[in-house]
């Protein structure tokens, strides 16, 4: 039995008790939970971090839970009935202050599973909850998550060369950071999994926060990640559009013109950076959709088309069968 078999078996046996309040958020009864770190996560300061679940929905059949208090970052593994070998790491948003688990996690896993894609919902640590080097904490978890998926590819039934990342809002910033900073050393390796490549093969960024330095940045995400008053060097080093290079994977960008929280200029800036670097990129800016639309938009809203477009993009770049 491998490290991943043992870890899966132990945590699955305990059920989702490891994630209080999320048990009914599983997309199927067979979902597993994988802890990212074999011991204490990097940057632990001894701060007391308490899990909290706030349901924003008034309909008990359609939860919309915001999660805080991520002391143990995990992957929720959602397997499709008919897997095609592709996998997607899903990073919910929440301005780096909470995680929008249902709208930008479980709902995404459902449509990915329907297309044969194994989904791994990432519950990553929030930088303002008492971690040292807080500005690196979410990316540490994202890099580690990609490496765990690749190291456990056989057990997960996925192809190591067909693993993407899909991020929303601040989770889009995290996905973009993983796409552009996958090779950067930001934590000390802890086991054999850390010899795996953290580069996603495709990245989908949905209404993403991109720049932490430009006038169109989302100030809340910037300050939650970097701290208030962060210097220009730190802001630029963590602005996704400034980190694009020849190793950046194909990017798929989505925004709505009427996004009143994170301006479309974020996606446009990253699109331009990808074009300048001659990297594969697609940009879709819809007339309506607002912010935080996930996959729950009415069909008459233009932004509801994005999942099918992303599936086509993934097929074009070898992630999923055409």
Q: Give the single-character DSSP code of 264.
A: T
pTM for this entry? 0.92
Using CA atoms, how far residue 255 sits from 49, 288, 290, in Å, is 33, 9, 8
- Do strands 251-256 and 203-206 pair parallel, antiparallel, or not at all (unpaired)? parallel
Local structure of residue 53 (DSSP, 8 states): E
Q: Which residue has the tokens 């008790």?
A: 17
Long-range contact list for 53-59, CB < 8 A, 24+ apart? 53/20, 53/21, 53/22, 54/98, 57/102
Domains and CATH numbers, the chain: 3-316 (3.40.50.1820)
CA–CA distance, 208 with 180 (Å, rounded to integer): 14
Residue with tokens 């770190």: 37
| pLDDT tens digits, 107-152 | 999 999 999 999 999 999 999 999 999 999 999 999 999 999 999 9
Residue 182 · residue 143 · CB < 8 Å: yes
**Got the DSSP string for 89-129?**
EEE--STTT-EEHIIIIIHHHHHHHHTT-EEEEEEPPPTTT
Closest CA to 208 of 241, 235, 185, 233: 241
pLDDT band at 89 (very low <50, low <70, confident <90, very high): very high
pLDDT of 159 > 60? The answer is yes
Q: Which is more confidently placed, 78 or 59?
A: 78
pLDDT at position 13 is 34
């Amino acid at each position: 039995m491998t490290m991943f078999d043992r870890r899966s078996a132990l945590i699955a046996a305990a059920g989702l008790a490891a994630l209080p309040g999320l048990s009914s958020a599983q997309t199927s009864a067979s979902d597993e939970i994988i802890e990212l770190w074999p011991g204490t996560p990097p940057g632990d300061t001894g701060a007391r971090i308490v899990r909290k679940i706030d349901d924003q929905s008034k309909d008990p059949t359609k939860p919309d839970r915001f999660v805080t208090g991520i002391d143990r970052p995990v992957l929720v593994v959602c397997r499709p009935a008919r897997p095609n070998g592709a996998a997607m790491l899903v990073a919910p948003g929440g301005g780096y202050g909470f995680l929008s688990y249902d709208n930008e996690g479980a709902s995404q896993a459902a449509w990915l599973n329907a297309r044969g894609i194994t989904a791994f919902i990432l519950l990553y640590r929030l930088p303002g909850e008492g971690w040292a080097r807080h500005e690196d904490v979410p990316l540490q978890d994202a890099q580690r998550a990609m490496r765990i998926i690749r190291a456990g590819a056989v057990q997960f039934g996925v192809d190591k060369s067909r693993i993407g990342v899909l991020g929303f809002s601040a989770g889009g910033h995290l996905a973009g950071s993983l796409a552009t900073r996958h090779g950067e050393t930001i934590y000390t390796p802890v086991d054999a999994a850390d010899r795996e490549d953290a580069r996603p093969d495709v990245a989908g960024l949905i209404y993403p926060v991109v720049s932490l330095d430009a006038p169109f940045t989302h100030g809340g995400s910037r300050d939650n990640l970097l701290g208030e008053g962060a210097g220009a060097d730190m802001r630029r080093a963590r602005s996704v559009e400034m980190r694009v290079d020849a190793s950046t994977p194909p990017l798929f960008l989505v925004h709505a013109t009427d996004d009143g929280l994170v301006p479309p200029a974020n996606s446009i800036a990253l699109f331009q950076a990808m074009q300048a670097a001659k990297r594969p990129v697609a940009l879709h800016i819809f007339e309506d959709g607002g912010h935080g639309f996930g996959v729950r938009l009415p069909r008459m809203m233009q932004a509801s088309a994005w999942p099918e477009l992303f599936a086509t993009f993934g097929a074009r770049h070898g992630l999923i069968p055409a």
